[in-house]
Amino acid sequence: MAFSKDSSKLVYAARDSFLIVFDIERGFPIHTISLERWKNCCALYLDNQDAVVAAEYGYSNPCLIYKWQEGKESVDTLFSSAKSDVDRIVVCEERDEIWIYSPPVVELRRYSTSELIKKYDPYQWSYSRYVINNAVSINRQASIVAISHGNKIRLG
Can you list the residues of the chain whose pLDDT is less than 70?
37-38, 58, 82-84, 126-133
C-alpha 146/C-alpha 108 separation (Å) is: 13
CA angle 15, 23, 81 (to 5 degrees): 50
CB neighbours of 39 closer than 8 A, spacing ≥ 6?
Answer: 17, 56, 57, 58
Q: Which DSSP category does 52 fall into?
A: E
Any bridge partners for residue 20, and if so which? 12, 32
The model scores a pTM over 0.85 = no
C-alpha 77/C-alpha 68 separation (Å) is: 9
Task: Give the per-residue pLDDT at 129.
Answer: 62
Task: Give the per-residue pLDDT at 90.
Answer: 93
Task: Give the per-residue pLDDT at 70.
Answer: 81
C-beta separation of 20 from 12 below 8 A: yes
DSSP-assigned states of every residue in 55-95:
EEEETTEEEEEEEE-TT-SSPEEEEE-SSS---EEEEETTT
Task: Give the per-residue pLDDT at 117.
Answer: 94
